[in-house]
Amino acid sequence: MAKPIVGIFGLTGCAGDQLVILNCEDELLDLAGALDIRSFHMAMSDNDEDCDLDIALVEGSVVQPEEVEMLERIRSRARLLIAIGTCAVWGGVQAMKNEEQREKLKRQVYGPKGKDFGIIPSQPLSSFVRVDYAISGCPIEKDQFLQAALSLIHGDLPVLPDYAVCTECKMRENSCLLLERGELCLGPITVAGCNARCPAYGQPCIGCRGPVEEANVASEVNLLREKGFTLVDIQNRLRTFGGQSEVMQVAPTERGR
């Protein structure tokens, strides 16, 4: 079987997901040997900008008109497009304040130099192109990425979790931070795959991996309010990582309460 031709790209984000790939130190040589990586700006020179790709891995969210074009170009070259990281999958932390006026923000941050470029509200890749698989995480989990890559190399579809952080948290027998300590934990609505790392260290889940499929946000909000959290606290937490996702847009009419 011919090696899959791969391109790894970054839009707007911290480049942490590409860094996770490079941090696969023990596995990197095997991985690079099993893939024909033609484009990976962060790690190599002489990138091929035109070849057809079997797999495009794209990190980061779309925040500039130019990035829409870049993404569409990548999509047109690739058989499979895989969003990697919470920015690419959900819009990321930069989508937190999407309702704020872009021009105003640009003036505040860049001053007169802001005139040289355009910006749009931060959006996930799926707002613009078809995304075949989404590996979320801030950053992505190394093992999950490797398993997904190996599945594709083998010709299988990657298996990604469809269940919440609570499942893995219970498997580890962590004390429940939500019930035992009354903390604002997003474990019940956040997609698993991290092996409940934060709760295992006594820190509540902040939802960095984005919402689980069919997340019951309304029930989560209800139970957090019953624990005494304000809607503003809850909404701030929900929107930190999942800001752009529809499910996280809880009852905006209630915001003033």
Partner 1 sequence: MKMVKLQKKNLNAFLAGLEKFGDLHGPVRRDTNDFAFQKVDAPEQIAHDCLRTILPPKKYFTKPVDTMFTFSEAEGYRAPDKDLHTKIILFGVHPCDIHGIKILDLVFGGQYRDEYYFARRRNAIVVGLDCMPDEYCFCRSTGTDFTEDGFDLFLSDIGSSYLVRVGTSLGDDIVLETSTLFQEIGDTDRRAYKRRSAQRINSFEVEIHLEDLPEIMDLEYESRIWQELGDKCLSCGTCSMVCPTCYCYDVVDQLNLDAKSGSRLRRWDSCLFKDYALVAGGHNFRADRGSRIKNRYFHKQRGFVAQFGRPSCVGCGRCIVSCPAAISLVDVLTKLRSRGNE
Q: Please report, as ranges, the residues that interact with partner 1 according to CB under 8 A.
A: 27, 30-31, 34, 146-147, 150-151, 153-154, 156, 159, 162-164, 166-167, 170-171, 173-176, 178-180, 187-189, 212-214, 216, 218-220, 223
Q: Show the tokens assigned to 3.
A: 């090696």
Nearer to partner 1, 116 or 173 (CB): 173
Q: Show the tokens assigned to 142.
A: 């190394």
In the chain, where does DSSP find H-type helix?
16-22, 25-34, 65-77, 86-90, 102-110, 142-154, 165-171, 177-180, 197-200, 217-226, 231-242
Q: How far is the CB of 51 from partner 1 (least distance, A)?
A: 22
Nearer to partner 1, 47 or 167 (CB): 167
Nearer to partner 1, 201 or 256 (CB): 201
d(CA 38, CA 156): 22
Q: How far is the CB of 217 from partner 1 (least distance, A)?
A: 9
Nearest Cα to 209, choosing from 254, 175, 163?
Answer: 163
Nearer to partner 1, 11 or 212 (CB): 212
Q: How far is the CB of 206 from partner 1 (least distance, A)?
A: 16
- Chain-centroid distance, C-alpha 234: 20
Q: Which amino acid is at 70?
A: M
Residues 11, 13, 17, 21: is their CA dihedral positive or negative?
positive
Nearer to partner 1, 92 or 187 (CB): 187
Nearer to partner 1, 109 or 251 (CB): 251
Nearer to partner 1, 63 or 152 (CB): 152
Q: How far is the CB of 169 from partner 1 (least distance, A)?
A: 8
Q: How far is the CB of 136 from partner 1 (least distance, A)?
A: 16
d(CA 133, CA 241): 19
Nearest Cα to 43, choosing from 27, 28, 60, 26?
Answer: 28
CB atoms within 10 A of CB 14: 17
At what angle are helices 142-154 and 25-34 packed, to 10 degrees? 20
d(CA 106, CA 145): 34
Nearest Cα to 184, choosing from 244, 145, 235?
Answer: 235
Residue 76 DSSP symbol = H
